[in-house]
């Protein structure tokens, strides 16, 4: 089973990307949130992977953070929520928004996603209401992309890099230098430039 891929980012499409690992291109399906924080091709990225094996195919689903992967696993335990629908839900709602939606019993949190109607949304709320409390980190919200550099960008970038498998001790010096050299860097840019340095 494949649990993580580190390689060059190839083609990035609406719902998937290609990660080139030593000349082998792996097709990885992902949410728009994960795809939006990937570095530009052909830079190096580290992606957490959930491998789904079926009789007719082996599919790889990629995540920028372990939290998003945990939510994917949780969502796919609900009858009627397959991998594609789970990614659609993760594309329209952050972990924090999903948690709030479930606790508030708000169907619209889920009906915004393609493939989720009112009945399926109700089933998601019913089946996950008692499970979300066990989620690692309590389902805290993922950092928003595109925020201009500041104290929150520094913290959120460190969290994102930690989610990609980098230790704080190795990520902090590089991130600090990136933010010093690029005063108005957005969170997305700070993460991409840091990843470029960390991959060397």
pLDDT tens for each residue of 124-171: 999 998 888 776 444 343 333 333 334 467 777 777 777 777 777 778
Which of the four pLDDT bands, split at 50, 70 and 90, describes residue 29? very high
Among 43-52, 86-95, 179-188, which is the least confidently predicted range? 179-188
Contact 68, 33 (CB under 8 A): yes
What pLDDT sits at residue 192?
A: 84
* 109: its two tokens: 């949190």
- Predicted TM-score (pTM) of the model is 0.67
pLDDT (0 to 100) of residue 147: 32
What is each CA distance from 44 to 19, 81, 144, 165, in whole angstroms? 9, 32, 22, 13
According to DSSP, residue 114 is labeled: T
Report the candidate in 155, 6, 136 with the shortest Cα–Cα distance to residue 73: 136
Residue 150 is predicted with a pLDDT of 44
Q: What is the mean pLDDT of residues 19-24?
A: 94
Which is higher by pLDDT, 116 or 188? 116
- Cα(68)–Cα(48) distance, integer angstroms: 10
Q: In this model, does residue 56 exceed pLDDT 80?
A: yes
Q: Mean pLDDT of all residues in the chain?
A: 85
Q: Is the pLDDT of residue 55 over 70?
A: yes
pLDDT the model gives residue 82 = 95
> Which two three-digit tokens encode residue 155?
């913290």
- Cα separation, 87 vs 64, whole angstroms: 13
**Least reliable range by pLDDT among 34-48, 109-123, 143-157:** 143-157
Report pLDDT for 101.
Answer: 86
C-alpha distances in angstroms, 39 versus 26, 73, 130, 136?
16, 25, 37, 26
Q: Taking residues 83-91, what's their average pLDDT?
A: 96
Q: How far apart are CA 122 and CA 110, in angstroms?
A: 9
User: Residue 72 — φ and ψ, nearest 5°?
Assistant: -60, -45
The whole-number pLDDT of residue 152 equals 62
């Amino acid at each position: 089973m494949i649990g993580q891929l580190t390689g060059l980012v190839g083609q990035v499409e609406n719902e998937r990307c290609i990660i080139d690992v030593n000349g082998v291109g792996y097709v990885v399906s992902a949410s728009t949130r994960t795809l939006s924080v990937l570095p530009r091709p052909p830079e190096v990225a580290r992606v957490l992977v959930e491998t789904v094996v079926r009789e007719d195919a082996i599919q790889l689903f990629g995540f920028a953070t372990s939290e998003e992967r945990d939510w994917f696993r949780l969502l796919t335990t609900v009858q009627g929520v397959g991998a594609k629908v789970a990614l659609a839900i993760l594309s329209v709602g952050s972990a924090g928004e999903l948690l709030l939606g479930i606790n508030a019993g708000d169907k619209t949190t889920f009906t915004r996603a393609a493939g989720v109607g009112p009945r399926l949304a109700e089933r998601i709320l019913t089946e996950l209401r008692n499970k979300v409390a066990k989620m690692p980190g309590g389902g805290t919200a993922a950092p928003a992309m595109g925020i201009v550099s500041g104290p929150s960008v520094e913290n959120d970038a460190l969290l994102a890099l930690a989610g990609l498998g980098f230790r704080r001790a190795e990520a902090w010096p590089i991130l600090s230098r990136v933010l010093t050299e690029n005063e108005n860097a957005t969170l997305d840019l700070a993460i991409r430039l840091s990843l470029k340095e960390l991959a060397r």
